[in-house]
Chains A and B, each alone.
Chain A
Amino acid sequence: MKNDYKENDAERAIFRAALGGMQIEPSEKFWNSALHSIIDREKALARKSTGTWKTVSFFLGAGIILFCIHDMWTYNKMNKIEQEVAAIKNSEPSSVIKENTVVTISKSNVSEEANSRIASSTGNSVIKNSNTSVPANKAFIKTSVGQILNKGNQYALQQVFASGASTSVSNSPATQNIPNEVIVAGQGNNPVTNQSTVFVNNEGSKVTVASGNVSEEPNKINTLSTKNNSKVVIAKQQDSSQVSTKQTTSDSGSGLLAMNEPPKPKINVAHKFSVSAFFAPGGISDFLEDRDNDNTDGITVNSLKDRETDLFSYEAGIKMGLDISNKFSIHAGLYYYMYTYNIKQSIITAQMQHDGSVGYSIVTSSGVVEMPYYAAPLPKVGDSIKVHGNSSRGYLGVPIELSYNAITHNKLGVYLLGGFSANIIHDAVTNLSWQNTLLQDGNASVQNVQGLALIDFSYDLGFGVTYKLWRGISVYVEPYLQGSITSISKNAPITIYPYFLGCAGGVTYHF
């Protein structure tokens, strides 16, 4: 049978001659379908690209947040461990306070029980209980005989009741800038005897001598304000034998005794600089207005909105910051913005261009783009072609921003942000693929947009969460909105005000 075929292969000759080099033009429907298929493919690729960036951004942001949470948890845990270690170190058995002995008080002694009370009424006993009448987190120390010394410890005294003829309180913890409040009050019929109640208090602390209990000897109570805005109310006469302080003359009035000039507190530096770098992926859209309300010019607000969608946009840059107070900072820097739009398949018609020739132009979100067209025959006014592609604009932005630190808690901070930016056009590219009714096609990359404003201005509003890492380095996440105040196109039939919604992730170094 095979031999028969080989010898008499008439079919091979006939069919190969007739159909061997056959070319068949696919149907119009098929071409459209194919075109859509490719456009869909382009969209899918664009979506994939955008999706990839969004995914990366999402996981980056999530990673930063998780890292911050972990770091904060670790920080708190370490802090607690340090406190516990300090408590162990300082937790000398305080079951007995002997008369006229020196007892070193640290908060850790009583912090285990928030409302604990250490009292020595007769000088030879300590009572430790939970007295709910004492505000939480305030060590309650009471003594009538003996000396309370808080010197060199990490914690300041929170609340002290001292009474009796031979009591003294010395409060000068190692950490000078911990504000505390020491209340000195007599107990019932046993008022404070000022001659023997002496305070050496750290700067920034507040000492209140209950007036009712000391009114019996008003001439011996004076109010003294020390320098550097500390709030100290102290007895006039001190027993220098029990307090290692030096009396100096106060500048706050005659007849008042001053404490020795307290050590300079550790006050946060008022002005701090910072430098930040950030990357902000996001989406671009436009607020559009029909400039002339002319629906016959081939473009309307809705048609432009339908034609264009955000492809991938981002902003990135560096900025310098200056803390002008504890709450406010100003920032300025240099940003680069890249906004990219996808242009869906559209039909555009030939018309007179700005140089007097007839050609194809398309209104995009960047403005009017006149497209090169190399095909025969030359277009006449009214001819149409299909186009699709993308357009992008790059800007150099110079922003000035003001931020307000709304919340600060441990390492975390939340701030509000607002500002303005001058945006200078850096590049504008429109890539178009066209196909005419003769199924001729081509591509055009246009790097010129008619009437595109050289500079436009925008506002930005946002808020951010910052997290301190170490040595002045912090990271932040900052969702924000940036909107144009001025139109970016001078002669497009549509007035275009772009706005960008993004989420910046960045690093800041404070110095």
Chain B
Amino acid sequence: MIDACLKGDAIAQRQLYFLFASKMMGVCRRYAKNNEEAEDILQEGFASVFTKLYQFKMQGSLEGWIRRVMISRAIEQYRKQAHVFPMTDIEEVEHKLASPDDVLSAISADELLHMISELPAMHRVVFNLYIFEDMEHKDIASELKIPIGTSKSTLFYARMMLRKRIEQSMQVAKKRNYNEK
């Protein structure tokens, strides 16, 4: 299929597109503010995939390569946007978070995704790169062309915002459970 795509076979490209669209949509969605933005990134990402497929050396997973292309597109999308760094009052945030199991049992994946979506664009990108792509701060800084210190502080703020949102959601969940009992 890759060979056919490289030869410009539109049918093969279409198959490739449909094969990875859902998975890549999941990736794009984490970097995007909403579904529409995620679909834009996905569309742009696949356009890049088809034009740069010759760069894929047949080593490693094609899915991984497409995923990196999508993330690159997401970062480009982030660069297009205005970056307003909202100063959140993090003094009010508790630094201790409940255990992951407790959180996961109380909060759905959709809610967690929504929380990421609500992060400012830069925080969202840094958080995703650090948490999901296992990138170090120096790599994130290099990718985003920002100082390492900015990457660290951005991640710190992102974490604090998410903790605050998680704790709020946990409290709501507790109240709901209490009322139900």
Q: Give the distance to chain A from B152, nearest Cβ to Cβ, in Å.
A: 6
Q: How far is the CA of A13 from the CA of B29 in the complex (A)?
A: 19
Asked if A19 contacts B99 (CB within 8 A), the reply is no
Task: Label chain A's interface by main secondary structure.
Answer: helix
Asked if B131 contacts A38 (CB within 8 A), the reply is no
**1/0 per position for B114-138, CB-CB distance to A under 8 A?**
0010000000000100011000010
**1/0 per position for B85-105, CB-CB distance to A under 8 A?**
000000000000111100110
Q: How far is the CA of A396 from the CA of B35 in the complex (A)?
A: 54
Asked if A18 contacts B104 (CB within 8 A), the reply is yes
Q: How far is the CA of A27 from the CA of B75 in the complex (A)?
A: 23
Asked if B14 contacts A433 (CB within 8 A), the reply is yes
Asked if A24 contacts B25 (CB within 8 A), the reply is yes
Residues of chain B within 8 A of A33, CB atoms compared: 39, 43
Among A4-12, A83-91, A370-378, A495-503, the stretch that binds chain B is A4-12
Q: Please, which residue of chain A has its CB at the minimum distance from the CB of B28? A: A24
Residues of chain A within 8 A of B162, CB atoms compared: 11
Asked if A24 contacts B159 (CB within 8 A), the reply is no
Q: Give the distance to chain B from A386, nearest Cβ to Cβ, in Å.
A: 12
Cβ of B147 within 8 Å of any chain A Cβ, yes or no, is: no
- What interface size band does chain A fall in? 35 or more
Q: How far is the CA of A443 from the CA of B11 in the complex (A)?
A: 8
Cβ of A306 within 8 Å of any chain B Cβ, yes or no, is: no
Asked if B43 contacts A34 (CB within 8 A), the reply is yes
Asked if A38 contacts B10 (CB within 8 A), the reply is yes
Residues of chain A within 8 A of B159, CB atoms compared: 5, 11
Cβ of A16 within 8 Å of any chain B Cβ, yes or no, is: yes
**Given A1-B156, A10-B97, A10-B100, residue A22 in contact with residue B8 (CB < 8 A):** no
**Given A1-B152, A38-B14, residue A23 in contact with residue B22 (CB < 8 A):** yes
Residues of chain B within 8 A of A13, CB atoms compared: 100
Q: Which of B25, B112, B163 contacts A18, CB < 8 Å?
A: B112
A18-76 CB contacts (< 8 Å) to partner B: 18-27, 30, 33-35, 37-38, 41-42, 45
Q: Which of B21, B29, B50, B100 contacts A14, CB < 8 Å?
A: B100
Asked if A22 contacts B29 (CB within 8 A), the reply is yes
Cβ of A409 within 8 Å of any chain B Cβ, yes or no, is: no
Q: Please, which residue of chain A has its CB at the minimum distance from the CB of B113? A: A19
Residues of chain A within 8 A of B113, CB atoms compared: 18-19, 22
Residues of chain B within 8 A of A37, CB atoms compared: 43
**Given A1-B152, A10-B99, A19-B112, residue A27 in contact with residue B39 (CB < 8 A):** yes
Q: Which of B10, B29, B107, B155 contacts A42, CB < 8 Å?
A: B10
Asked if B22 contacts A38 (CB within 8 A), the reply is no
Cβ of A267 within 8 Å of any chain B Cβ, yes or no, is: no
Q: Please, which residue of chain A has its CB at the minimum distance from the CB of B29? A: A24
Cβ of A2 within 8 Å of any chain B Cβ, yes or no, is: yes
Residues of chain B within 8 A of A289, CB atoms compared: none
Cβ of A470 within 8 Å of any chain B Cβ, yes or no, is: no
Most A CB within 10 A of own CB, among B98, B116, B131, B132: B131
Q: Please, which residue of chain B has its CB at the minimum distance from the CB of A441? A: B18
Q: Please, which residue of chain A has its CB at the minimum distance from the CB of B115? A: A15
Residues of chain B within 8 A of A14, CB atoms compared: 97, 100, 103-104, 112, 166
Q: Please, which residue of chain B has its CB at the minimum distance from the CB of A42? A: B10
Q: Give the distance to chain B from A121, nearest Cβ to Cβ, in Å.
A: 86
Residues of chain A within 8 A of B132, CB atoms compared: 15-16, 19-20
Residues of chain B within 8 A of A20, CB atoms compared: 132
Residues of chain A within 8 A of B15, CB atoms compared: 441
Residues of chain A within 8 A of B50, CB atoms compared: 41
Asked if A22 contacts B109 (CB within 8 A), the reply is yes
Residues of chain A within 8 A of B116, CB atoms compared: 15, 19
Asked if A2 contacts B152 (CB within 8 A), the reply is yes
Cβ of A17 within 8 Å of any chain B Cβ, yes or no, is: yes
Q: How far is the CA of A2 from the CA of B15 in the complex (A)?
A: 43
Cβ of B79 within 8 Å of any chain A Cβ, yes or no, is: no
Q: Please, which residue of chain B has its CB at the minimum distance from the CB of A10? A: B97
Cβ of B23 within 8 Å of any chain A Cβ, yes or no, is: yes
Residues of chain A within 8 A of B18, CB atoms compared: 439, 441
Residues of chain B within 8 A of A42, CB atoms compared: 10
Residues of chain B within 8 A of A17, CB atoms compared: 100, 104
Asked if B25 contacts A25 (CB within 8 A), the reply is yes
Cβ of B140 within 8 Å of any chain A Cβ, yes or no, is: no
**Given A1-B156, A11-B159, A33-B43, residue A19 in contact with residue B109 (CB < 8 A):** yes
Asked if A11 contacts B131 (CB within 8 A), the reply is yes
Q: Please, which residue of chain A has its CB at the minimum distance from the CB of B111? A: A18
Q: Give the distance to chain A from B67, nearest Cβ to Cβ, in Å.
A: 12
Cβ of B30 within 8 Å of any chain A Cβ, yes or no, is: yes
Q: How far is the CA of A443 from the CA of B25 in the complex (A)?
A: 24
Q: How far is the CA of A223 from the CA of B42 in the complex (A)?
A: 98
Q: How far is the CA of A5 from the CA of B152 in the complex (A)?
A: 10
Asked if B23 contacts A15 (CB within 8 A), the reply is no
Residues of chain B within 8 A of A22, CB atoms compared: 26, 29-30, 109, 113
Q: Give the distance to chain A from B23, nearest Cβ to Cβ, in Å.
A: 5
Residues of chain A within 8 A of B108, CB atoms compared: 18
Q: How far is the CA of A41 from the CA of B49 in the complex (A)?
A: 14
Cβ of B17 within 8 Å of any chain A Cβ, yes or no, is: yes
Q: Please, which residue of chain B has its CB at the minimum distance from the CB of A12? A: B131
Q: How far is the CA of A439 from the CA of B15 in the complex (A)?
A: 12
Asked if A25 contacts B14 (CB within 8 A), the reply is no
A284-331 CB contacts (< 8 Å) to partner B: none
Q: How far is the CA of A13 from the CA of B99 in the complex (A)?
A: 9
Q: How far is the CA of A20 from the CA of B103 in the complex (A)?
A: 16
Q: Which of B21, B29, B46, B97 contacts A11, CB < 8 Å?
A: B97
Asked if B22 contacts A30 (CB within 8 A), the reply is no
Q: Give the distance to chain B from A27, nearest Cβ to Cβ, in Å.
A: 7
Q: How far is the CA of A25 from the CA of B109 in the complex (A)?
A: 15
**1/0 per position for A237-257, CB-CB distance to B under 8 A?**
000000000000000000000
Q: How far is the CA of A45 from the CA of B14 in the complex (A)?
A: 14
Given contacts A1-B152, A15-B116, 5 further A-B contacts (CB under 8 A): A19-B109, A19-B113, A38-B14, A42-B10, A433-B14
26 contacting pairs across A/B (C-beta < 8 A)? A1-B156, A8-B97, A10-B98, A11-B127, A15-B116, A16-B132, A17-B104, A18-B104, A19-B30, A19-B116, A20-B132, A22-B29, A23-B23, A23-B26, A24-B26, A25-B22, A25-B25, A26-B25, A38-B14, A38-B17, A42-B10, A45-B8, A433-B11, A439-B18, A441-B14, A441-B18
